[in-house]
Structures are given as C-alpha cells and as structure tokens.
Amino acid sequence: MTLAEIIASLFPEGHSVTVAEGLVNGEGPFRGGRLAVIGIDGDTALGVDGACRLAGYVLDVVRRGGAAPILVAIDSDSQRMSRRDELLGLNEYLAHLAKTLLLADAHGHPTVGLIYGHSAAGAFIATALATRVLVGLPGANPSVMDLPSVARVTKLPLDRLEAMAKDTPVFAPGLDNMVRTGAVQAVLDPDQPLAEQIAAVIDALPADDTRDRAGRERGGRPVAEAIAAQVVREAAFG
Amino acid sequence: MSERIIDPAAKGWATSWYEASARARIDGLLDAGSFREVIGPEQRQMSPHLPLFDLPRAFDDGMIVGSGRLDGKPVLVAAQEGRFMGGAFGEVHGAKLVGLLRAALALKPDAVLILFDTGGVRLQEANAGETAIAEVMRAITKLRAAGVPVIGLIGGRAGAYGGGGLIAGTCSRLVVSEGGRISVSGPEVIETNKGAEEFDSRDRALVWRTMGGKHRRLIGGADAYADDTVAAFRQAALDQIGRAPAFDLATLEAEQARLEQRLTRFGDCRDGTEIWARLGVNDPEAVPALTTAAFDTLLASLGETTHDAR
Amino acid sequence: MEKLSFRHTTQRALAGAKAQAITGVVASGNLEVLLERALAPTECTVEIETPIRGYGEVWAAVVADFVARSQPGGLRITINDGGARPDTVSLRLLQGARLMEV
C-alpha cells in the first residue's frame, strides 16, 4: 500500500495528514476522537533535521492533551549517513525522537507503529521500534543491513548466508523475520479497512513490553525472555 | 561476600579505563568486594547463534551485569566487553541488559550504571540485537520515569556506536572521556556510502573532532568529561547521580529547544573546530591536544556548558 | 568449531580455596579461560572450543606443559579460543592458576 492508500483507508471521512520533505504529520477522526499520524515516507533517510521536526510533532500531540493515539507510519531509509549529522549529534536527535514517542505512550497517547515500506538501523529504532506495538503491511522490508553488505563485512559468501537465512530468522532482513523476532506484532490485511484493524491493535495493547515473549513463542529469539527473567529473579542487594 | 575473580594486575585507581577489561572496570568502579554478578560466566549462557557462523563464543556473551555499591550506594551495573565481537548487541547480551533494567524497577537502586563499549548491533544476530536495543530504550525511560537515574559511562575503544549511541541518548546523564566516541554511523560506513570526501575514515583526528569525547562534552552531547582512569569515572558517576533530570514533558520540551537551538547555531558548520569557535573557544585547533586539566579550565571559562535537558 | 578435551592427573591439588576465576577475552589472538574448582583434588580437565582446526597436538602439548608446571589439581578449565598463539595460551593458563591460588 502507498501512504496515500493507507491514509485514505484509515480516514475515509477525511483528514489533515500532509507529507513534506518525506515527513508525515497530521491527524483524522478516529472512534469518536482523533488519531494523530506522524512518520516518514518515500524511503527517506532520517537525519538531525527530520528527527527534530518529527519529535516536535509528537510533543505537539502531548501538549494538546486528550487521548489521541499516535500512528507512526514508516517507509524510511536508514539514518542519514553524513559528517554533518554525526557532528551535530545524530544519536541525541534519534534518541530524543524515541523518547518523545515513549513519553507520549506513557502519557495517554498509545503509540502504534506501521511499517509499510523500508526502514533500517537507527531510523527503525527511533521510530517504528519505539512504539508500544508495531505492525506491518505485506511487502514491508525492515532491515539492519542488506545481505550483500553483511557478506562483505563478515567475509562470508552471499549464497552461504542465504542458505543460513533459511535455517534461522535471527540475522537476515525481512518482515517475517522481524515478526518471528517479536519486534513486529502482526501483519495487517491490505484488503480490509485499516481503521478497524488499527482499532483492534489498540484495544489489544499489552501493558508491558512482551516482545521477548513473542520472540520465544515464534522461534526468532529462543533465549532472550528467559535470560531477562533470570536477571530479574536473581539481581539483589547483599 | 563476592568473589573477586578478575586479574589483580588489571585493577587499580590509576588504571586506564580505555585499556581495562569490562570486569576490571566494574571491579575498580564499585566499592571493593561489593559486586555480585548475575548470570556469571560459570553458567555458560552463551550465544545460540555464533556457532552457525563458526565464531567463538564468550561465557558471558560480552555483557556483565549485577549489583554492587558505589560509595555505599546500592547500584545495578552493566558493562560491555568491547573486545568481544566489538561489544556488539546479540540476543543474550541484550537480554542481560534488558533484565537488569527491569530488575531495577523492583529493586529501586540509587542508580543504574551502564558501562558502554559497543559498535552497535551484532550482524550475526541482527534482528535480536536491534530488538533488544529497542527494549533497552523503553526500559530505560520507564525506569527514569520511576525515579531511578541511569548513568552512561563512555570511554572504551568501541565507544557507543549505532544502537549504543541511541541508548546513550536515553540515559539520564552521560560521562565521557577522551577516548570515548559517540556516533550512530561509523566513519567507515559513512565513507563507504558517501565517499572519502564526505568522511575520510582514516583521518583519526577528524573522527575525534566529529565524534570524540571532548567534542561531545563541548556540544552538550555528554554531561561530564573524565580523565581516562577508573578513579575519574568513579568520581564522575557519583557526581552525576544527583544531577539526573526527571523523565517528563518538561525535560523533553527543554531538550527539543536545546536540539533546535543547536541546529540554528551550528547547522552550517563543517567541522568541530568551527563549532568550538562559535562556542567561544579562542584556540579551537588546540582543543584535541588539551590535557584533562586544561580542558576542564576551558569548560569553566566558557560558562554555562551543562544542561539538564536530556 | 573444533572441540578438544584433555584429562590429566596431578600430584597434588592446586593451592588456595578460590572457587572460580576467569581471565582473558575472546578476541583475535586472544582467549578466555574459565577455571572452576570442581573436581577431585588430583584431577584436571581442560576443554577447548576453537575456530582454528587442526592444532590438536599443539594444544595437547601446551596443556600438558601447563599441568606439569602448575599442578592444577581439582580444576575444571574451559577455554573459548579466539585464535591465540601457544605462548598466549600458556600465559592465560598460568594467569588463571595464579588467580585460583588466592
């Protein structure tokens, strides 16, 4: 689905969502209230300027009060790779964006991520992965690094990596692997109205972060949940 | 009573933080004998994935977690071993840190200390590592909202890169030393993607002017600058515990303003020296070579270089 | 990965009462050694996991030399090797034994 199709499916009665320089912002009517939308479109890389603007949009929602959920719609490249972005402290801008989403979520604005295109690395962590629950649409392609680059860095042949990727979902890019890892909760149906599906996702929001449990149940992360739970049980002060 | 099982030759007040192993850093940072490790190496909770790549594993997967005391204060500690797989986040590595942060919610220590030394996500376990990083960031903000400060210490050879840089950006306070670099993309990755004109990754001086500890301290990306010794990091950590800002709307509004202002003031700067000049540094070219004492003097002369908008 | 395992008998138990120690780091040219006081007083086992295949005889010789020198009776020693040279292996084993003698 394109962003335009997504927005139309979310807001059949109209909306105020706009896209400027790859940044998405706006809202529309949703279940008697409003649903705020922010995001990145067009496989755009996320740099200091974009992250700062998006964070501002999120803070606008929180400042307005109310209980509007926030949909974070993502079709992005990775973080913008440049001297300028790192010089200016890109890590702080990306972390700040994630923090605004995490704060909004804790302050009455449940956050739902919707990955419908590409996303990678720092951009993915700062947006889609910073929501309370992340869902995807078929064809979405979250990744840490593409396999040819992984082959270059690890000095393993690409065909061997492709074969290994069939046996384990732990390293290769792709939506299904992120579902198995527990990072993506579900894949929505593009042929059904999105508003209802998003509403159902919001109604089923977990109170805590249960991604590691999902990772164990789906086989993508066999040990993470147990390891974290063991630390919780055994950490103590003497 | 804890077992001090690290190499006695590697500890001591004057020990270089940069050169020390993760275990030696913990041992020197905390009150003597106070560290109680959780999921220690003898439990052999190693990576389930590295054997697929014919790569050797570490008994602790390069992440050491546990409890201890810092000048008598109860703290939880996590330390990354930067020399194992570049300190990168794998499934077990990440889960240990996530568990520690969740444990802190129940135990309410005076602080959680994260000793960063990471290149980011471990490629061989990319999806697990990346998801763990997101879980860590969520857990840190939840912990901060519950009133527990999370202090990041950055001074190892791997720095705080990639997802590690993002986690650092969620901490309440950050302590950095000369050797501690903070960045999202590494110099080689920028050069591969954008060319040497954009970033010559072999130019170490450029790397440090762009991502190094002194630059981060000057631009407000870190809150304290420490000498490269275990003693200095211990003192700085203690000092920062009492300065942690609340995780609330007011703090994030202040950070928004701080970050917007940074773009306005320095958005057209090409190099760290230009930024330092605009900050009021008389001799920017001399900054990299400044000793810690001279750098501290410089910071004091610049006036207000600290903030609590993080 | 190659797994190697050696079992030795010593003349005496290693001095000290330390229950466990760890030294070294898994990195290129380095190794990690975990020592546990877990066996009968004159037994010693050394288990190694290494990505460099085909050096079994070298490992056997290094281990035998270490056992003869340090008499690490009672120790279960486990190694994660990152591709260390024999002299580095010897060094780490000796460092480990010293840590356990406390």
**A86–B66 CB contact, under 8 Å:** no
Over range A154-174, report the average pLDDT. Answer: 91
* pTM (two decimals): 0.97
pLDDT level of residue B2 (50, 70, 90 thresholds) = very low
Looking at residue A151, its pLDDT comes to: 87
How many CA atoms does the CB half-sphere of A137 hold within 13 Å? Answer: 22
| Domain spans of chain C, in order of start | 1-99
Distance between B211 CA and the closest CA of chain A, angstroms:
7
Confidence band, pLDDT 50/70/90 cuts, at residue B3: very low
Q: Which chains touch C (3 or more CB pairs under 8 A)?
A: B
Q: Is B277 on the interface with A (CB under 8 A)?
A: no
CA A139 to chain centre: 15
Give how far Cα C91 sits from Cα of B106, B264, B290, C4, C97, Å. 43, 56, 38, 19, 10
Task: Determine which of B13-17, B139-143, B162-166, B217-221 has the lowest per-residue pLDDT on average.
Answer: B13-17
Task: Please determine, for residue B8, whether its predicted confidence score (pLDDT) is greater than 60.
Answer: no
Tell me how close the Cα of C87 comes to any Cα of chain B, in angstroms: 18
Angle between helix A48-64 and helix A90-106 axes, rounded to 10 deg? 20
Side-chain-side CA neighbours of B30 within 13 Å: the count stands at 31
Using CA atoms, how far apart are residues B295 and B277, in angstroms rounded to an integer? 15
A44's CB contacts (< 8 A; 6+ apart) are: A21, A22, A23, A50, A75, A76, A77
A188 Cα to chain B: minimum distance (Å): 20
pLDDT of B13 = 54
Does B59 contact C19 at a Cβ distance shorter than 8 Å? no
Chain A touched by B138 (CB under 8 Å): yes
Would you state the structure tokens that stand for residue B72, as one six-digit string?
Answer: 């008598």
CB B290 within 8 A of CB B298: yes
Using CA atoms, how far apart are residues C79 and C43, in angstroms rounded to an integer?
Answer: 17
- Please indicate whether, in this complex, the C-beta atoms of B267 and A124 are within 8 angstroms of each other: no
- Confidence class of residue B1 from pLDDT cuts 50, 70 and 90? very low
CB atoms within 10 A of CB B305: 17
Mark yes or no for CB contact B83/C21 under 8 Å: no
Per residue in B294-309, pLDDT (tens digit) is: 999 999 999 877 999 9
Residue B12 has pLDDT above 80, yes or no: no
Largest CA distance in chain C: 36
Q: Which residue from A63, A130, A170 is facing B49, i.e. has the nearest CB? A: A170
Segment B237-284, tens digit of pLDDT: 999 999 999 999 999 999 999 999 999 999 999 999 999 999 999 999
Element (H, E) at B227: none
Cβ atoms of B46 and C34 closer than 8 Å: no
Structure tokens that stand for A53 in this block: 């603007």
The whole-chain average pLDDT of chain B stands at: 95
Q: Please report which confidence band the pLDDT of residue A8 belongs to, taking 50, 70 and 90 as the band edges.
A: very high
B134 touches chain A (CB under 8 A): yes
Helices B204-211 and B272-279 meet at what angle, rounded to 10? 40
Instruction: Answer yes or no: is pLDDT of B14 > 70.
Output: no
ipTM for the complex shown: 0.98
pLDDT tens per residue across span B52-87 = 999 999 999 999 999 999 999 999 999 999 999 999
C43-50 vs C75-81, strand pairing mode = parallel
pLDDT of B5 over the 50 cut? no
Contact flag B252-A106 (C-beta cutoff 8 Å) = no
Per-residue pLDDT of B226-235, as tens digits, reads: 999 999 999 9
What confidence category does residue C88 fall into, taking pLDDT thresholds of 50, 70 and 90?
very high
Average pLDDT, chain A: 96
Nearest to C49 among B42, B56, B81 (CB): B56
Place of tokens 């950050």: B174
Residues of B in contact with A183 (CB under 8 A): 127, 130-131, 134
> Over 70: is that where the pLDDT of B289 sits?
yes
Residue pLDDT, tens place only, B172-184: 999 999 999 999 9
- Residues A9, C27: Cα–Cα separation, whole Å: 52
Nearest to B95 among A125, A220, A224 (CB): A224
pLDDT, tens only, A70-96 = 999 999 999 999 999 999 999 999 999
Whether B133 and A125 lie within 8 Å, measured CB to CB? yes
Query: Using the beta-carbon criterion (under 8 Å), do B7 and C18 form an inter-chain contact?
Result: no
Give Cβ neighbours of residue B181 (< 8 Å, ≥ 6 apart): B154, B159, B160, B161, B207, B208, B211, B212, B213
Q: How far apart are CA A121 and CA B187, in angstroms?
A: 16
Inter-chain contact B138–A130, Cβ cutoff 8 Å?
yes
pLDDT band with cut points at 50, 70 and 90 for residue A152: confident
Question: Which chain B residues in 190-249 lie under 8 Å from chain A, judged by CB atoms?
Answer: 190, 193-194, 198-199, 210-211, 215-216, 219-221, 247-249
Contact partners of B by the rule of 3+ C-beta pairs under 8 A?
A: A, C
Alpha-carbon gap, residue A17 to A4, rounded angstroms: 9
By mean pLDDT, which of A10-24, A107-121, A157-171, B240-254 is the weakest? A157-171
Q: What is the pLDDT of residues B94-130, one digit of tens each?
A: 999 999 999 999 999 999 999 999 999 999 999 999 9
Half-sphere exposure of B248 (CA within 13 A, CB side): 6
Give the B:C interface size as CB pairs under 8 Å.
54
Chains A and C touching, counted as 3 or more CB pairs less than 8 Å apart = no
The whole-number pLDDT of residue A149 equals 82
Chain B residues with beta carbon closer than 8 angstroms to that of C27: 83-84
SS3 C30: coil
pLDDT in tens, A186-203: 999 999 999 999 999 999
What is the Cα–Cα distance from B117 to B156, expressed in whole angstroms? 5
- A233 band by pLDDT with thresholds 50, 70 and 90: very high
B near C: at least 3 beta-carbon pairs less than 8 Å apart: yes
Distance, in angstroms, between C9 CA and closest chain B CA?
23
How far is B147 from B167, CA to CA, in rounded Å? Answer: 18
